[in-house]
Amino acid sequence: MSDQPVVKTVQLTKRYGEFTALDSLDLELRKGQILGYIGPNGAGKTTTIKILVGLARPTSGQAYIDGLDCTTDVRAIKRLVGYMPDVFGAYDNMRVREYLDFFGAAFKIPQKHRATRIGEVMDITGTAYMSDLYVEALSHGMKQRVGIARTLLHDPSVLIFDEPANGLDPAARIDMRQVLLRLAEMGKTLIVTSHILPELSRICDVVAIITHGKLRAFGTLDQIMHQVRQRRMVLVTLAQGHDVDAMANLLREQLGPDAEIKPSPQEQQVRFSSTADDEQLSRLLAAAVGAGIGVAQFNEVPLDLEDAFLEVTGLGHAGAGPADAPTDAPAEQADEETDAAEESTDAEAESVAEGEAGSEADDEQIDEEVEVEPAEEDDIEDTDENGETEKPKT
Amino acid sequence: MANPIIQRELITTLRQPRAALIQIAFVAALAALVLAVWPDTATVNLGGRQAQQLLSVFVYGLLVGLMLMGPAFPAMAIVRERQRGTLTLLLISPLTPMSILIGKITGALGFILLLLLLSLPGAAACYAMGGISLQQLAVAYGVLALAAAQYAMLALWVSSRVKSTDGALRITYGLILLLSVIVLGPRLMTQGKDLAGITAVVLVPQQYIHAAADWLAALSPIPAVMQIVGHESVGARGLESQIDPVARYGIMAGITIVLCAIGTLLRLQPKVTDRPRDKGMVTDEQTASVRTYRRFMYLFFFDPKKRTGSIANYENPVMMKEFRTRTFGRAHWMARIIGICLIVSLILMLLATVGTMWVDIGYMGGVLVIFQMGLIILIAPAMSAALISGELESGGWTLLQMTPISARTIVVGKLLSVAWTLLLLLLATLPGYGVLLVIDEGRQGQVMDVLISLSLTAGFCLLVGAACSSVFRRTTAATSAAYMIVVGLCIVTLLPWLGEGSLFGRQVVEAILTINPLAAGLAAMHMPGMTEYQLLPANWIFLGVGSVLAALVLWLRTWELTKPQ
């Protein structure tokens, strides 16, 4: 992989009036990397993408693709980037080949080369058999693949996919994952947004987690896990007939008040989280066996991207409200944003009004390649039925 | 309410800002109409002539209002449910198709009847002038309510059959134009005439042809309204039918309502959702016999199932895309429409040739102008109102923005796709003028004037529709707005013409008709009733300025939409 970043944003900020959709975003992505760009609805993902593809202008900061400024070199950027929005953009009465031919002509691919190019992208995406089908009659998974074929037509170096796995069945998701990996193997740089985090964790080289327009974590999956994993979760399964409460009492004695212990007699299991290291855990297991407790399994529950996401965004904390919930933004603004979202897909992603949630974390510096800022509970506010905000109950 | 759909339909309709806007605009227009013709002196014609003319303008105005506003909600009632996936929810609920239909039609009619109620103060003003009976008013309102029900049920039936909301609106307006105006054509041509020449060809007795034309015309509420306000019935020269036009309209409207209701009920069955996806059959992949058959039937070029070639380097890709994606843009549909236009034009030629003994040549020319103008008014806004808004709705606009195509190429491609279609349709209707010129060479100048008027009107309608599609984000709103502007200009401005003499002075009527392209075309052709007006070249200037303004709006909005947010 080249050392030069293919995609780079510097203090990228976008405001709509008083509402900050994107706040000082710093990202770097190198050739052939796949970035999993994740965040709740309204976090600022689509705003970032729109700036990168030249559909929106930043309020401040810069965005570059292959060294070209996304604000001033828009025409050149269009040739470098293939963008698949979350809305497919089907045309009635058009067969797949006609559809691709139109976009090929729009990208000024000469007529004599176009058929060959269309054949190539259909092979890459596995859509050759759909050639004569009508676009509007395709299933969602088929449309997504045709959408990818469309983005590849002009052979861009950077591909941006907005929710490509959304609404796909498991088989289609596996197909999608393979297509994306194949594209990365071809040297393409990919930015993929998704809510389906297990999917992303299988294909991404780097992950960026964003909430309320602010980058919360950025780095490889391992780096993020390492930062997030401050407490480890262990699951103890007991043999039939052994007392779950006895095990729970033993754990309390050994780990002290800091540990969170959840016995589940119905499942013959005890789940606990603590900061204990490997040595302490082995002593704990020996103590249990020594006390005559029949331990059938003693496993550390692995942390996945979903847990990391919940941890970083603060959504994993009991009582925390949704990260995209409207908070104390002015009511008019919230209405405006909602209307805008109904009116167009443009506003959809960033339409949810955001308030001061995350403000404390916002002020902190992100000064390393890997920064993890677990959102504090106070960052997230609940919205009650009357639309009024209140602090989390925890 | 027992039927939950009625409640939901009415509430959601009345909650929409568009509904409030329509109500306000409707009442304001009626108030302006009454104020404009209200006598400014204390004397009133005791014979009630002034009141009768006010009533006629008022009732015609209401009818045009119903034609324009009535179908807006029912045309979307079912197709929108289908698009949102809620039709399936209704079909699997305990609600029967009949209760769904009743709910939908009652909800739609509720709004329309509200509009009629809002017009009652205007009717009271007509009554206050004297010379009008309450019975006359009641019959007028009865016919209008029946027309509202007829249009609403027609719109609902269309809504149950089409795939898109804008398509539903376009087809509904087209059918309303057909049911209200075009069905009058045969009666206009045949009433009171000796049809011996035609009966010899078609072997049908004259009285049957007259009766068929009468009953066909009864599909339209216009003859009934003419009867109520005391105007001469359409084409009523010589022989008159013995059946009251109001009763006849009642029968035909009732039949239309019942047929449309049955058609809608048949579409509200769960089986309509039980369809496989289109397999995308291509003629090129079929057996030799099927290929030969289809190539023969569609003359090869017009086969919609044949593989299309690549878009050539010199072609505007947006224009080609428009041709391929628009239902009526595909070659086989274009061929059909042009064929229909040719046939109608040839029929008019035939009638002009055999009918010169009993029909004024200007009258025949006028019919041709009405036919062509009707075609332009119906087709141009329908095609152009989806140009930009359709892309915005489908998400295609973002994709277009991501290509190197400039805003200019997009706009030019889209406009050309409609302009070519309109040009082909107009060319298909031109042979009629050739015959007129053969019969009377002296009309060369008039024909030229008409052709200029037609071209300018086509350009104006195209640009107004396109401008609306750039201003509104939804195609249904853009289509409604485009039709209201174009139909309003061509039909509503004819209303003062009905009241010329007592309600409006000649100069006022001429000034108003100056902006009416239909009136300008008819005046240019010296159609009886329009000969005294000098509307050209003022109408051309109006259309030219209007077109430039619409083009400016289109350009500015497209520029705004293409620039980064």
- Contact A53/B at CB under 8 A: yes
State the angle between helix axes of B475-490 and B49-69 in degrees (0 to 180), rounded to the nearest 10.
160
Do the beta carbons of residue B162 and residue B79 sit within 8 Å? yes
pLDDT on residue A362: 37
Q: Provide the shortest C-alpha distance from residue B98 to chain A (in Å).
A: 30
- Contact A108/B at CB under 8 A: yes
pLDDT on residue B281: 77
CA distance B41 to B39: 5
CA distance A149 to A132: 15
Report DSSP state, residue A230. S
B320, B323, B399: which to substitute to probe chain A, counting the most A Cβ within 10 Å? B399
Residues in A touching B405 (Cβ below 8 Å): 106
> Could A89 and B330 be called an inter-chain contact, meaning their C-beta atoms sit closer than 8 Å?
no
Give all strands (DSSP E) within chain A, no chain letters: 5-16, 19-30, 34-38, 60-65, 68-69, 81-84, 158-162, 189-193, 206-211, 214-220, 232-238, 260-264, 269-274, 295-301, 371-372, 382-383, 389-390
Q: Provide the shortest C-alpha distance from residue B316 to chain A (in Å).
A: 9
Q: What is the pTM of this model?
A: 0.72
CA B190 to chain centre: 24
Residues in B touching A137 (Cβ below 8 Å): 277-278, 280
Do the beta carbons of residue A200 and residue A163 sit within 8 Å? no
> Could B565 and A105 be called an inter-chain contact, meaning their C-beta atoms sit closer than 8 Å?
no
A69, A77, A132: which to substitute to probe chain B, counting the most B Cβ within 10 Å? A132
In one-letter notation, the amino acid at residue B473 is R
Residues in A touching B392 (Cβ below 8 Å): 344
B281, B306, B310: which to substitute to probe chain A, counting the most A Cβ within 10 Å? B310
- Contact A137/B at CB under 8 A: yes
End-to-end CA distance of chain B: 47
Q: How many CB pairs under 8 A join A and B?
A: 116
Q: Provide the shortest C-alpha distance from residue B506 to chain A (in Å).
A: 47
Residues in B touching A91 (Cβ below 8 Å): 321, 324-325, 394, 396
- Contact B412/A at CB under 8 A: no
B281: left (phi over 0), alpha (psi -120 to 50) or beta: beta
Residues in A touching B313 (Cβ below 8 Å): 105, 110-111
CA A166 to chain centre: 12
pLDDT on residue A341: 37
CA distance B558 to B553: 8
- Contact B307/A at CB under 8 A: yes
CA A78 to chain centre: 24
- Contact A92/B at CB under 8 A: yes
Tokens standing for residue B116:
């009629």
Q: In terms of Cα–Cα distance, which of B61, B65, B72, B14 is closest to B33?
A: B61
The four Cα atoms A288, A291, A294, A299 give a dihedral, to 10 degrees, of 0
Residue A55: which of B310, B312, B564 has the nearest Cβ?
B564
Do the beta carbons of residue B457 and residue B521 sit within 8 Å? yes
Q: Provide the shortest C-alpha distance from residue A206 to chain B (in Å).
A: 26
Peptide bond into B537 cis (omega under 30): yes
Residues in A touching B326 (Cβ below 8 Å): 92-93
Residue reference for tokens 């950025």: A218
Nearest residue on chain B to A109, judged by CA atoms?
B313
Nearest residue on chain B to A345, judged by CA atoms?
B395
Residue B404: which of A108, A114, A343 has the nearest Cβ?
A108
Do the beta carbons of residue B169 and residue B479 sit within 8 Å? yes
Residues in A touching B402 (Cβ below 8 Å): 53, 55, 78, 81, 83
Report DSSP letters for B7-76, one per residue. Answer: HHHHHHHHHSHHHHHHHHHHHHHHHHHHHHHS-SSS---TT-HHHHHHHHHHHHHHHHHHHHHGGGTHHH
> Could B311 and A93 be called an inter-chain contact, meaning their C-beta atoms sit closer than 8 Å?
no
Residue A55: which of B326, B330, B565 has the nearest Cβ?
B565
Q: Provide the shortest C-alpha distance from residue A142 to chain B (in Å).
A: 13
- From the first residue on, what is the mean pLDDT of each consecutive set of 10 residues in chain A (394 residues)? 80 90 91 89 88 90 92 88 87 88 92 92 90 87 90 92 82 84 90 80 87 88 73 87 90 84 89 84 90 90 73 55 42 38 36 34 36 38 36 30
CA distance A34 to A202: 11
pLDDT on residue A393: 30
A92, A108, A127, A133: which to substitute to probe chain B, counting the most B Cβ within 10 Å? A92
> Could A94 and B325 be called an inter-chain contact, meaning their C-beta atoms sit closer than 8 Å?
yes
Contacts of B175 (CB under 8 A, 6+ apart): B154, B158
CA distance A36 to A56: 21
Tokens standing for residue B316:
């505007």
Q: What is the pLDDT of residues B471-480, one digit of tens each?
A: 988 888 888 8
For chain B, which residues make up each domain, given as ranges? 4-37+48-183+219-272, 317-561
- Tens-level pLDDT at each residue, chain B (565 residues): 567 888 777 777 777 777 787 778 878 887 787 777 776 665 555 566 777 777 888 888 888 888 877 787 888 888 888 877 788 788 878 888 898 899 888 888 888 888 888 888 888 888 887 778 888 889 999 999 999 999 999 999 999 988 877 788 888 988 988 888 888 877 777 766 666 666 766 677 777 888 888 888 899 998 898 888 876 655 444 344 556 889 999 999 999 999 999 999 988 877 766 666 667 778 777 888 888 887 777 776 777 777 788 889 899 999 988 888 876 666 777 777 778 877 777 776 666 666 555 556 667 778 788 888 888 888 888 889 889 998 888 888 989 988 988 888 999 999 999 998 888 888 877 777 877 787 777 888 888 999 999 999 999 999 999 999 999 888 888 888 898 899 888 888 887 787 676 667 788 888 889 999 999 998 888 887 787 888 888 999 999 999 999 999 999 999 888 888 7
What is this model's ipTM?
Answer: 0.72
- Contact A74/B at CB under 8 A: yes
Residues in A touching B307 (Cβ below 8 Å): 97, 132
